[in-house]
C-alpha cells in the first residue's frame, strides 16, 4: 500500500511539474495599449472584490488574440478567484488561464483569450473580476471588547498592467463613513463611503504606488481554516452530506477580559464579534444536524424557503477576534437531483463546496465522495484545478470490500468557487441486491443454528433416568387426557339420565347408552394399553392407574345399576317415586365415593 | 391456551416466557430513552463523563495502553494512574461491543454504545432476575420479577440512556452471580460454582459493590451451617467459588491484594475455613465413635476458633490486614462520615434514605415485598435462606445510604414477584369456568395450570352438590384480581412518571418551559466547556470544585486540579481553601498550583440551585479539615449562625474568592423591572457586596445565562504590583565583580570606549 501510495504521489508531482513547464509562456504584445481602466475595489467585507473594466486598443499591425493581466506584487499571493467577461452587452465569459512571461519571472500573469482577435486599430472592452482573501489586516491588531475593529488595506493607485495605460480611475468603497485615514495622490475625491482616485493619465506599464485606506470594518472576519465535505452516495435514493468545519475569527484579537454583562447590556460592545451566521442549503435538504464532539448545538434554527433551506447557526459562544470553534453540519438530499444514469453508467453532479456564510473564505477544502460498493471506472471532472488524492476505501453498514472514496482538495477558496464537480462511474445494478440478501442469509443462518441447537443433544453422558422420566410423563399426559375423556363421557351420560327422567324417551336413551358403552370400552382398552406401556418405566405409576381402572370398574357397575334402574324400573313405571329416589340416592352416594377416590389418585398422578 | 392438548404445553410455556421476557426487555429499554428523545444521545452527569473518556481512550489506544494510562490531565500536578484506579469492566464491555461491531463494519460511534449500554443491560438484568426467581420459586414469579425490575424506578435511576456508569452493568452481574450461586447450591456441581466465580469476576471488574457479594455469600453459608443445613452440595459449591473467586478478583489491578488484606473480604475466608472444619468434622464423625468425637470436636473447635480470631486480630494490628475503610464505617454508623470524612458526607447520594424515597423508587413493591419474604421464610429451603438474607441486608444498607437503594431494588422485585405470583395463584386457582380467566394474569400462573383445569372438569361430576362453601366466591375473587391488576397498572404508571420526571435529565443540559409552553434549552455548561476546549492553551490548568472535574476533562479536554475521583483529600482541601480565602491569599495558592483558569458555577441569574455558592459550606468544611488554622467554618456564618449572602452576611464570606467570582459584576445586573439590581434568584436575596473589582483575576468567559463563569488568573506582570517599601526601592549595584577576561584574551576592556575616528593627514600640495 505504502509503495503504491508513494508511486501515485510521484506521478502527481510529475504531472504538476509538466503542467508548470507547459503553462503558456507568453510575450507581452508591445502594440496593445489600455485606453481606459476603471477599477472598483470593494473592501466593505472581509474580502477584497475588484472589478476592472478595461478598454483596450491594438495600435500595431498584427491582430492580437490575447490580453495579459497582472496583479500587484504584494497582493498576487492573495488572489483566490479570477474571471473575465466581455464588456459588451452580451457579457459572455472569456477563458482565463495562468500564464508566465519569461522577461518578468516574478510577476503573476493571467491570459485572457479574446473572443475574436483584435484587429489593427480596433478596440474592445473586457471586464475582469477577481477576489482577494486575507488582504485586509486589522490595525490595531488587538482591541478590547468595547473598541471597534479598524482594518487597513494596502493596494496600489495604479492597475498593475503590462501595457501602457492612457487613463485610469480607481474607486475604493468601504461601506462605512468611519474612515480613519486614506492616502492621497491627487486627484482624490472622498464621498460618503468611498474614495475615488484618479483619473491618472499616461501610466507606464508595471507602475506601483502604494495606496492605503484605514477604516472601520465590523463585518465578520470569519475564516474557515479547514472544511472537510463528505458526500456519501446511496443508490437507494439518498445522498448524505456532512461538513466538518474549523472556524476562526481572523479580525482584531480580543484583548483583556470578556464581560458578559457589557455584551448583554451595551449595543456597542463586541461589534466585531460573530454571534450567528446563516448557511444556505439546497432546497431539498432534510434531516439537518448541527453538532460537535460534545453533542448537539442547541442554538440553531431552520427555515425552509421556496428555493433553499436557511440554517441560522449560532456557535456555542460568540466568536471574538482570535477565537475558534469547530462543528459538524450534515443533511440529506434526494439523489434524483444529483445522480443521473443510463443503464449501469452513472453521473454524479454535485457541488464541490457549498455555501457556509456570505463572503466566506475557505483556507483548505477537502471534498470526499463515497460511492456505493462496487462502483468502477471512476472518472472525475472538477470545475477548476484541484489536487486529487489517492482513492481509499470506506467500510460501513453491510459492506464487504468497502466503498471507493474519491478525495480532492484545494486551498484558498471563496464563494465563487461554489461549482459542481462531475463524476462518472459504472455500477452494476444487480449489486443493489447484495445487502438485502446478506441480511436474509444472516438471519437464515441464525434460525438454522437455533433449530439445530434445540434439536441436538450436546450432553456428554446419557441421562437414563431423565429419559425414562420424560417417557413416563409423556404417557401420563396421554393417560390424563384419556381419563379426562372418560370423565366427560360419564358427565354426558349423566345428562341423558336427567333428560330421560322428564322425556321418558326410552329409545333415544337406549341408543345413548349404547354409544356410551361402546366409547367407554374403547377408552378403557386404550387405558389398559397405556398401563402395559407404563409398566417397564414406572411400575409405581402403572399400579396407580391400574387402581383407577379397578375403581372405574366399580363406577361403571354403579352406572350399569343406574341404567338398569331407569330402563327396567322407572320408565316402565314399576317403581314408586319414593323407592326410586331412595335407590337413586344410594347409587349416587356410591358413585360419589368412587369418583372421589378416582379424583384423589388422578390428582396424585400430576 | 387451556384448550391446547397437553403435548404442546411445553412449547406454549416457553413461547410465553420468551415473549414476556422480550417485552420486558423492550419496555425497559424504551422507558429509559426519555432523555435521548427529549434531549439527545449524550453522556449524563459527572462520573459517566470519566467512564466515557476512559472508554474512548481505550478504544483509541488499545487495552494494554489503557491499563498503563497515566492521566496527567487530572489532579495536577500529581496526575492519576487511571489503569490501576478504575474498575475496567464497564470500559471493556463497551469496548468489546465496539470492537465486534466494527469487525462487522458497523461504524457506530463509541459514544452511542456508551449511551445505550445501560438500557441494553437492563434487559439482561431482567432475564437474570427471571432466572434467579425461577430458581427460588417458580416461572410465574420469575416473570413477575423480570417485569418489575425492567421498569422499577429504583433501578432506572442508575440505568437511563446516557447514564454510563458502573452500576448499569453491575446490577446485571450481581443478579447473574446470585442466580449462578443459587443454582450451584442447588446442584452442588463444580461447573455451576465455577460459573459463579466467573460471573463474580465480571462483577469485581465492574463495580466496587462486589464486596456485597463476597460478604453475602459467606453469610448465606454460615447461616445454613447454623441452621444445620450443611450438605456436600454446599461444601462443593462454596469451596470452589471461594477459591476461584478470590483468585479471579485479584486479577483486577485496582483490587490487587485487597481480597487477602482487607477486613471487608475476611468474612469469605472465615466462612471458607469454617466450612472446611465442619466438613472435616462430619468426616471424622463417620469414622470415630461418639465419645471420641465429642472430645475431638470440643478441642478442635476451640483451637480453630482461637487461632482464627487471634490470627486476624494480630494481622490487623500488624498492618497486614487493613482495617475497614471509612466508607464502610459509615454504613454502620450513619453519623460517622459527617464527623470524620466530610468529603463522603458532602455527596448527596451518601445521605440516609428517607421514607419518601422508598415509596418513590419502589411504589407498590415496597408493601408487597414483605409478603414475599414471609412466603420464603414459611417455605424455607437452602436457596430461600439466601434470598431472605439478601433482602434483610439490602434493606438495612438502603436505609443507610440513598445510593444503596440500588442493591435493594432487585431483591424487592424478586420477593414482590413471589408475592404477586402466590396471590394470583390463590385467587385464580378455583376458577369455575376456564374461559373467563384473565388472560393477563394467566401467563403468570401458568405453572399451576395443570393443577386446576383437569381436576376441575372431573369435579363437575359432582354437579349435584356444587357451590359448596369452599374458598371464596367468584365475585370476591374477581374483585381482588381486578384490584391487584389495578395496583399493577398504577405501578406501571408511577414508574413511567418517575422515570420521565425525575431520572431522565442529562443534568448538563437544562430545559425550562416558558409561559407559552415553549421549551427553552439552557446549554451553558457545554458552552463554557467548549469555549475552554477551543480557546485556551491545550495545557491550560483549570481550577474548579471537584464536582466538575470529570466534565472539564471530558468535554473541555483541559487539565484539572481535582475531580470526582476524590482520592486525595488534602488536594481538594487546598482548592477549597483557595475558594474560601480572600483574593490575595487565593492567588498565592493558585500560583503555587499553576492555575490558569478558575471555573465557578453560578445559578443566581436563572435560579439554578445546585451552584457553587450552595455547595460552598462543604468547601469550607473540607478546607477546615486540613487547614484548621486558616479556615474556620464559623467565620462564614453570621452571628446568628446563618449562611447568607446578603448585606447581613459575614464579611469573611462576602470577600472570599468564591463569592467574588460568582458575583463579579452581578451587582450591576438588573434581571427584571420588579427586582433590584443584584438580586440573586437562587437564594432570593439582594447580594451584600456589590461593588468590587478583581485584581488578580479577570473575567475570561461567562455563559449566556451566567451559569458558568470562567476567570483567567493574571500573570504576575499583569496586575498592579504590590507596593514596595521605600527602603527596598533602591537598586543596589551588585558588588560581585565578574571579569570578562578569559585565559586567551588578557587585554583589558573599556566600557563605552570612545570610538576614535582616524583622520587623514592632509596631503601636501
Number of Cβ atoms within 10 Å of the Cβ of B704: 21
Using alpha carbons, select from B451, B372, B459, B384 the residue that is nearest to residue B417. B372
Strand, helix or coil at B266?
A: helix
Tell me what percent of the residues of chain A surpass a pLDDT of 90.
26
Residue in B closest to A398 by C-alpha: B105
Residue in A closest to B708 by C-alpha: A260
pLDDT in tens, B323-365: 666 666 766 666 666 666 777 777 777 778 888 888 888 888 8
Does A606 contact chain B (CB < 8 Å)? yes
A353-367, B109-123, B302-316: range with lowest mean pLDDT = B302-316
pLDDT recorded at residue B720:
63
CB contact under 8 A, A595 and B461: yes
pLDDT recorded at residue A118:
83
Does A398 contact chain B (CB < 8 Å)? yes
Number of Cβ atoms within 10 Å of the Cβ of B258: 16
User: Who has greater pLDDT, A388 or B461?
Assistant: A388
Number of Cβ atoms within 10 Å of the Cβ of B605: 21
CB contact under 8 A, B527 and A317: yes
Average pLDDT over every residue of B630-639: 86
pLDDT recorded at residue A606:
66
Q: Is the ipTM of this complex over 0.85?
A: no
Number of Cβ atoms within 10 Å of the Cβ of A527: 20
Using alpha carbons, select from B385, B403, B378 the residue that is nearest to residue B170. B403
Average pLDDT over every residue of B353-379: 89
pLDDT in tens, B663-690: 988 888 887 888 888 888 888 888 888 8
Does A276 contact chain B (CB < 8 Å)? no
Residue B502 has pLDDT above 90, yes or no: no
Average pLDDT over every residue of B598-616: 88
pLDDT in tens, A18-57: 444 445 677 777 788 888 999 999 998 889 999 999 998 8
Residue B458 has pLDDT above 60, yes or no: no
Helix axes B355-362, B365-378, angle to 10 degrees: 80
pLDDT recorded at residue B721:
62
Max Cα-Cα span within chain A: 153
Mean of per-residue pLDDT scores for chain B: 83
As a whole number of Å, the end-to-end CA separation of chain B is 142
Does A463 contact chain B (CB < 8 Å)? no
Strands A295-296 and A238-249: unpaired
pLDDT in tens, B537-550: 888 999 999 889 89
Residue B465 has pLDDT above 60, yes or no: no
Does A592 contact chain B (CB < 8 Å)? yes
Does A481 contact chain B (CB < 8 Å)? yes
- The answer to whether residues A195 and A153 touch, using CB atoms and an 8 Å cutoff, is no
DSSP B311-368: HHHHHHHHTSSB---HHHHHHH-TTHHHHH-HHHHTSGGGSPPPHHHHHHHHTTHHHH
pLDDT recorded at residue B454:
38
- B473 Cβ partners below 8 Å, 6+ apart? none
CB contact under 8 A, B523 and A294: no
Residues of B in contact with A493 (CB under 8 A): none
Residue A84 has pLDDT above 50, yes or no: yes
CB contact under 8 A, B530 and A595: no
pLDDT recorded at residue B464:
38
Confidence of residue B317 (pLDDT cuts 50, 70, 90): confident
pLDDT recorded at residue B710:
93
Average pLDDT over every residue of B277-300: 83
- The Cα–Cα gap between A175 and A180 comes to 13
Using alpha carbons, select from A297, A450, A597 the residue that is nearest to residue B42. A297
pLDDT recorded at residue B338:
65
Residue B442 has pLDDT above 60, yes or no: no
Residues 106-165 of B with CB under 8 A from A: 106-107
Does A487 contact chain B (CB < 8 Å)? yes
- The answer to whether residues B710 and B532 touch, using CB atoms and an 8 Å cutoff, is yes
Using alpha carbons, select from B179, B181, B90 the residue that is nearest to residue B128. B179
Mutate to test the interface with B, among A240, A242, A260, A394 (most CBs of B within 10 A): A260
**Exposed, middle or buried by CB within 10 Å (0-12, 13-18, 19+), for A446?**
exposed
**What's the grid cell of residue B607?**
435560579
CB contact under 8 A, B458 and A599: yes
Residues of A in contact with B700 (CB under 8 A): 257-258
- A88 Cβ partners below 8 Å, 6+ apart? A125
Look up the pTM and report it.
0.80
CB contact under 8 A, B530 and A292: yes
Residues of A in contact with B6 (CB under 8 A): 477, 480-481
**What's the grid cell of residue A88?**
459588451
Does B531 contact chain A (CB < 8 Å)? yes
Residue B621 has pLDDT above 70, yes or no: yes
pLDDT recorded at residue A62:
83
- The Cα–Cα gap between B598 and B575 comes to 10
CB contact under 8 A, A595 and B458: yes
Residue A353 has pLDDT above 80, yes or no: yes
Residues of A in contact with B5 (CB under 8 A): 481
pLDDT recorded at residue B247:
93
- The Cα–Cα gap between A212 and A151 comes to 10
User: Who has greater pLDDT, A516 or A437?
Assistant: A437
Residue A224 has pLDDT above 90, yes or no: yes
Residues of A in contact with B7 (CB under 8 A): 474, 477
Strand, helix or coil at B296?
A: helix
Q: Taking the alpha carbons of B46, B47, B51, B54 in that order, is the dihedral positive or negative?
A: positive
- Per-residue CA distances from B203 to A465, A561, B221, B255, B270 (Å): 37, 72, 20, 12, 21
pLDDT recorded at residue B373:
93
Residue B229 has pLDDT above 80, yes or no: yes
Q: Which residues pair with A212 in a beta bridge?
A: A154
pLDDT recorded at residue B432:
46
CB contact under 8 A, A484 and B458: yes
Residue B452 has pLDDT above 50, yes or no: no
- The Cα–Cα gap between B560 and B540 comes to 9
pLDDT recorded at residue B6:
41
Using alpha carbons, select from B366, B383, B388, B478 the residue that is nearest to residue B433. B478
- The answer to whether residues A421 and A413 touch, using CB atoms and an 8 Å cutoff, is no
A18-22, A363-367, A501-505, B319-323: range with lowest mean pLDDT = A18-22
Q: Taking the alpha carbons of A534, A540, A544, A546 in that order, is the dihedral positive or negative?
A: positive
pLDDT in tens, B41-60: 888 888 899 999 999 999 99
pLDDT recorded at residue B3:
38
- A342 Cβ partners below 8 Å, 6+ apart? none
Across the A:B interface, residue pairs with CB atoms under 8 Å apart total 109
**What's the grid cell of residue B712?**
483567567
Average pLDDT over every residue of B478-502: 90
Average pLDDT over every residue of B620-636: 87
- The Cα–Cα gap between B565 and B208 comes to 13
Residues of A in contact with B534 (CB under 8 A): 323-326
- Per-residue CA distances from A7 to A3, A388, B453 (Å): 6, 14, 82
Average pLDDT over every residue of B241-265: 88
DSSP B40-98: -S---SSHHHHHHHHHHHHHHH-HHHHHT-EETTSTTTT-EETTTSS-THHHHHHHHHH
Residue B177 has pLDDT above 90, yes or no: yes
pLDDT recorded at residue B450:
37
Does B699 contact chain A (CB < 8 Å)? yes
Residues 241-270 of A with CB under 8 A from B: 256-261, 265
CB contact under 8 A, A598 and B458: yes
The backbone torsions φ and ψ at residue A283, rounded to the nearest 5 degrees and listed phi first, read: -60, -30
- The Cα–Cα gap between B231 and B236 comes to 9
User: What is the distance, to the nearest Å, from the Cα of residue B170 to the centroid of all Cα atoms in its chain?
Assistant: 10
Strands A109-118 and A64-70: antiparallel
Average pLDDT over every residue of B151-173: 90
User: Who has greater pLDDT, B206 or B509?
Assistant: B206
CB contact under 8 A, B703 and A397: no
Average pLDDT over every residue of B168-197: 93
pLDDT in tens, A254-296: 888 888 888 888 877 778 888 889 999 999 998 899 988 888 8
Tell me what percent of the residues of chain A surpass a pLDDT of 70.
96
- The answer to whether residues A286 and A310 touch, using CB atoms and an 8 Å cutoff, is no
Residue in B closest to A297 by C-alpha: B523
Q: Taking the alpha carbons of B492, B496, B502, B507 in that order, is the dihedral positive or negative?
A: positive
Residue B455 has pLDDT above 80, yes or no: no
Tell me what percent of the residues of chain B surpass a pLDDT of 90.
32
CB contact under 8 A, B462 and A398: no
Strand, helix or coil at A606?
A: coil
Does A460 contact chain B (CB < 8 Å)? no
Number of Cβ atoms within 10 Å of the Cβ of B45: 18
Does B716 contact chain A (CB < 8 Å)? no
Mutate to test the interface with A, among B5, B35, B105, B700 (most CBs of A within 10 A): B105
pLDDT recorded at residue A582:
84
DSSP state of A570: I
Residue A312 has pLDDT above 80, yes or no: yes
**What's the grid cell of residue B122?**
437492563
Residue in A closest to B104 by C-alpha: A398
Amino acid at each position: 500500500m505504502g509503495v503504491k501510495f508513494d508511486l501515485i504521489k510521484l506521478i502527481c508531482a510529475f504531472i504538476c511539474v509538466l503542467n508548470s513547464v507547459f503553462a503558456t509562456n507568453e510575450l507581452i504584445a508591445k502594440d496593445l495599449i489600455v485606453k481606459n481602466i476603471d477599477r472598483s475595489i470593494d473592501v466593505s467585507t472581509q474580502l477584497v472584490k475588484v472589478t476592472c473594466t478595461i478598454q483596450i486598443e491594438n495600435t500595431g499591425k498584427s491582430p492580437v488574440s490575447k490580453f495579459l493581466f497582472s496583479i500587484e506584487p504584494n497582493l498576487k499571493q492573495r488572489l483566490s478567484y479570477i474571471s473575465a467577461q466581455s464588456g459588451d452587452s452580451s457579457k459572455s465569459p472569456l477563458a482565463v488561464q495562468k500564464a508566465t512571461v519569461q522577461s518578468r519571472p516574478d510577476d503573476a500573469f493571467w491570459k485572457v483569450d479574446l473572443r475574436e482577435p483584435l484587429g489593427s486599430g480596433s478596440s474592445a472592452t473586457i471586464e475582469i473580476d477577481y477576489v482577494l482573501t486575507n488582504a485586509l489586516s486589522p490595525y490595531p491588531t488587538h482591541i478590547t471588547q468595547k473598541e471597534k475593529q479598524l482594518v487597513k488595506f494596502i493596494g496600489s493607485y495604479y492597475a498593475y498592467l503590462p501595457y501602457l495605460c492612457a487613463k485610469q480611475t480607481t474607486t475604493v468603497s468601504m461601506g462605512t463613513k468611519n474612515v480613519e485615514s486614506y492616502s492621497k495622490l491627487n486627484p482624490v475625491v472622498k464621498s460618503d463611503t468611498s474614495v475615488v482616485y484618479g483619473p491618472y493619465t499616461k501610466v507606464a506599464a508595471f507602475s506601483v504606488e502604494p495606496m492605503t485606506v484605514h477604516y472601520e470594518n465590523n463585518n465578520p472576519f470569519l475564516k474557515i481554516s479547514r472544511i472537510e465535505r463528505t458526500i456519501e452516495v446511496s443508490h437507494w435514493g439518498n445522498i448524505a452530506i456532512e461538513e466538518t468545519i474549523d472556524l476562526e475569527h481572523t479580525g482584531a484579537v480580543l484583548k483583556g477580559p470578556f464581560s458578559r454583562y457589557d455584551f448583554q447590556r451595551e449595543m456597542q460592545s463586541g461589534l466585531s464579534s460573530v454571534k450567528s451566521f446563516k448557511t444556505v442549503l439546497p432546497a431539498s435538504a432534510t434531516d439537518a444536524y448541527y453538532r460537535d464532539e460534545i453533542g448537539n448545538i442547541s442554538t440553531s434554527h431552520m427555515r425552509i424557503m421556496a428555493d433553499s433551506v436557511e440554517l441560522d447557526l449560532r456557535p456555542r459562544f460568540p466568536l471574538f477576534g482570535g477565537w475558534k470553534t469547530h462543528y459538524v453540519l450534515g443533511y440529506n438530499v434526494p439523489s434524483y437531483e444529483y445522480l443521473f444514469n443510463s443503464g449501469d453508467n452513472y453521473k454524479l453532479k454535485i457541488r464541490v463546496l457549498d455555501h457556509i456564510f456570505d463572503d466566506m473564505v475557505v483556507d483548505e477544502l477537502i471534498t470526499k465522495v463515497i460511492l456505493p460498493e462496487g462502483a468502477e471506472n471512476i472518472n472525475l471532472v472538477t470545475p477548476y484545478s484541484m489536487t486529487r488524492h489517492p482513492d481509499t476505501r470506506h467500510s460501513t453498514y453491510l459492506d464487504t470490500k468497502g466503498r471507493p472514496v474519491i478525495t480532492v482538495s484545494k486551498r484558498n477558496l471563496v464563494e465563487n468557487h461554489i461549482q459542481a464537480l462531475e463524476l462518472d462511474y459504472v455500477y452494476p445494478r444487480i449489486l443493489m441486491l447484495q445487502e438485502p440478501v446478506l441480511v436474509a442469509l444472516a438471519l437464515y443462518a441464525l434460525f438454522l443454528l437455533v433449530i439445530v441447537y434445540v434439536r441436538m443433544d450436546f450432553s456428554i453422558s446419557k441421562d437414563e433416568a431423565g429419559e425414562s422420566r420424560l417417557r413416563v410423563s409423556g404417557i401420563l399426559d396421554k393417560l390424563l387426557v384419556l381419563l379426562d375423556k372418560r370423565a366427560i363421557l360419564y358427565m354426558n351420560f349423566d345428562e341423558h339420565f336427567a333428560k330421560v327422567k322428564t322425556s321418558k324417551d326410552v329409545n333415544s336413551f337406549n341408543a345413548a347408552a349404547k354409544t356410551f358403552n361402546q366409547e367407554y370400552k374403547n377408552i378403557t382398552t386404550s387405558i389398559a394399553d397405556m398401563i402395559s406401556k407404563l409398566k417397564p418405566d414406572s411400575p409405581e405409576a402403572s399400579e396407580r392407574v391400574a387402581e383407577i381402572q379397578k375403581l372405574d370398574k366399580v363406577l361403571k357397575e354403579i352406572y350399569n345399576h343406574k341404567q338398569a334402574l331407569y330402563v327396567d324400573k322407572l320408565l316402565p313405571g314399576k317403581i314408586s317415586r319414593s323407592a326410586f329416589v331412595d335407590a337413586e340416592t344410594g347409587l349416587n352416594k356410591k358413585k360419589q365415593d368412587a369418583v372421589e377416590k378416582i379424583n384423589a389418585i388422578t390428582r396424585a398422578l400430576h | 391456551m387451556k384448550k391446547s392438548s397437553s403435548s404442546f404445553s411445553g412449547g406454549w410455556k416457553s413461547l410465553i416466557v420468551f415473549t414476556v421476557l422480550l417485552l420486558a426487555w423492550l419496555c425497559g429499554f424504551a422507558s429509559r430513552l426519555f432523555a435521548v428523545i427529549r434531549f439527545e444521545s449524550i453522556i449524563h452527569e459527572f462520573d459517566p463523563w470519566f467512564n466515557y473518556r476512559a472508554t474512548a481512550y481505550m478504544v483509541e489506544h488499545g487495552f494494554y495502553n489503557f491499563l498503563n494510562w497515566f492521566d496527567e490531565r487530572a489532579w495536577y500536578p500529581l496526575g492519576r494512574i487511571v489503569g490501576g484506579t478504575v474498575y475496567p469492566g464497564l470500559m471493556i464491555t463497551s469496548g468489546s461491543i465496539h470492537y465486534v461491531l466494527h469487525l462487522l463494519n458497523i461504524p457506530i460511534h463509541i459514544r452511542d454504545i456508551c449511551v445505550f449500554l445501560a438500557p441494553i443491560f437492563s434487559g439482561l438484568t431482567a432475564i437474570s432476575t427471571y432466572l434467579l426467581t425461577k430458581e427460588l420459586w417458580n416461572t410465574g414469579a420469575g416473570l413477575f420479577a423480570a417485569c418489575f425490575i425492567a421498569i422499577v424506578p429504583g433501578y432506572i435511576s442508575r440505568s437511563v440512556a446516557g447514564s454510563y456508569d458502573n452500576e448499569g452493568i453491575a446490577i446485571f452481574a450481581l443478579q447473574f452471580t446470585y442466580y449462578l450461586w443459587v443454582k450451584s447450591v442447588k446442584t452442588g456441581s463444580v461447573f455451576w460454582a465455577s460459573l459463579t466465580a466467573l460471573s463474580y469476576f465480571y462483577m469485581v471488574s465492574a463495580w466496587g459493590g462486589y464486596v456485597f457479594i463476597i460478604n453475602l455469600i459467606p453469610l448465606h453459608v454460615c447461616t445454613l451451617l447454623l441452621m444445620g443445613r450443611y450438605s456436600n452440595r454446599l461444601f462443593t459449591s462454596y469451596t470452589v467459588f471461594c477459591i476461584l473467586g478470590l483468585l479471579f478478583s485479584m486479577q483486577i489491578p485496582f483490587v490487587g491484594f485487597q481480597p487477602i488484606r482487607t477486613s471487608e473480604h475476611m468474612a469469605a475466608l472465615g466462612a471458607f475455613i469454617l466450612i472446611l472444619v465442619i466438613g472435616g468434622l462430619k468426616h471424622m464423625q463417620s469414622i470415630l465413635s461418639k465419645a471420641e468425637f465429642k472430645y475431638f470436636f470440643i478441642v478442635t473447635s476451640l483451637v480453630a476458633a482461637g487461632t482464627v480470631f487471634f490470627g486476624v486480630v494480630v494481622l490487623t494490628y500488624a498492618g497486614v490486614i487493613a482495617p475497614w475503610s471509612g466508607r464502610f464505617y459509615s454504613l454502620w454508623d450513619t453519623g460517622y462520615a459527617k464527623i470524620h470524612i466530610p468529603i463522603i458526607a458532602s455527596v448527596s447520594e451518601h445521605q440516609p434514605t428517607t421514607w419518601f424515597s422508598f415509596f418513590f423508587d419502589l411504589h407498590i413493591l415496597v408493601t408487597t415485598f414483605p409478603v414475599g419474604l414471609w412466603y420464603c421464610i414459611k417455605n424455607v429451603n437452602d436457596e430461600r435462606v439466601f434470598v431472605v438474607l439478601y433482602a434483610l441486608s439490602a434493606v438495612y444498607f438502603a436505609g443507610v445510604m440513598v445510593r444503596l437503594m440500588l442493591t435493594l431494588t432487585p431483591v424487592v422485585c424478586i420477593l414482590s414477584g413471589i408475592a404477586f405470583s402466590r396471590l394470583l395463584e390463590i385467587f385464580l386457582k378455583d376458577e369455575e369456568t376456564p374461559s373467563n380467566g384473565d388472560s393477563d394474569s394467566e401467563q403468570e400462573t401458568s405453572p399451576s395450570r395443570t393443577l386446576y383445569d383437569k381436576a376441575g372438569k372431573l369435579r363437575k361430576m359432582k354437579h349435584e352438590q356444587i357451590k359448596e362453601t369452599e374458598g371464596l366466591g367468584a365475585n370476591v375473587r374477581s374483585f381482588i384480581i381486578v384490584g391487584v391488576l389495578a395496583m399493577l397498572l398504577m405501578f406501571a404508571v408511577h414508574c413511567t412518571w418517575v422515570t420521565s420526571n425525575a431520572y431522565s435529565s442529562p443534568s448538563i443540559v437544562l430545559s425550562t418551559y416558558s409561559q407559552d409552553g415553549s421549551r427553552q434549552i439552557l446549554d451553558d455548561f457545554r458552552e463554557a466547556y467548549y469555549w475552554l476546549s477551543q480557546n485556551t492553551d491545550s495545557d491550560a490548568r483549570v481550577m474548579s470544585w471537584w464536582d466538575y472535574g470529570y466534565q472539564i476533562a471530558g468535554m473541555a479536554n483541559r487539565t484539572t486540579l481535582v475531580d470526582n475521583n476524590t482520592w486525595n483529600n488534602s488536594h481538594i482541601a487546598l482548592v477549597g481553601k483557595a475558594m474560601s480565602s480572600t483574593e490575595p491569599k487565593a492567588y498565592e495558592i493558585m500560583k503555587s498550583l499553576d492555575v490558569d483558569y478558575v471555573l465557578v458555577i453560578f445559578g443566581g441569574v436563572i435560579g439554578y440551585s445546585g451552584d457553587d455558592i450552595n455547595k460552598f459550606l462543604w468547601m469550607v468544611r473540607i478546607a477546615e479539615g486540613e487547614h484548621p488554622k486558616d479556615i474556620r467554618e464559623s467565620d462564614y456564618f453570621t452571628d446568628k449562625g446563618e449562611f447568607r449572602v446578603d448585606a447581613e452576611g459575614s464579611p469573611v464570606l462576602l470577600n472570599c474568592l468564591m463569592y467574588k467570582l460568582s458575583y463579579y459584576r452581578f451587582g450591576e445586573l438588573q434581571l427584571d423591572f420588579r427586582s433590584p439590581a443584584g438580586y440573586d434568584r437562587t437564594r432570593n436575596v439582594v447580594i451584600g457586596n456589590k461593588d468590587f473589582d478583581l485584581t488578580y483575576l479577570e473575567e475570561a468567559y461567562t455563559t449566556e445565562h451566567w451559569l458558568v463563569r470562567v476567570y483567567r488568573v493574571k500573570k504576575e506582570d499583569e496586575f498592579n504590583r504590590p507596593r514596595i517599601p521605600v527602603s527596598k526601592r533602591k537598586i543596589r549595584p551588585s558588588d560581585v565583580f565578574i571579569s570578562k577576561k578569559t585565559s586567551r584574551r588578557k587585554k583589558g576592556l573599556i566600557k563605552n570606549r570612545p570610538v576614535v575616528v582616524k583622520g587623514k593627514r592632509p596631503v601636501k600640495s
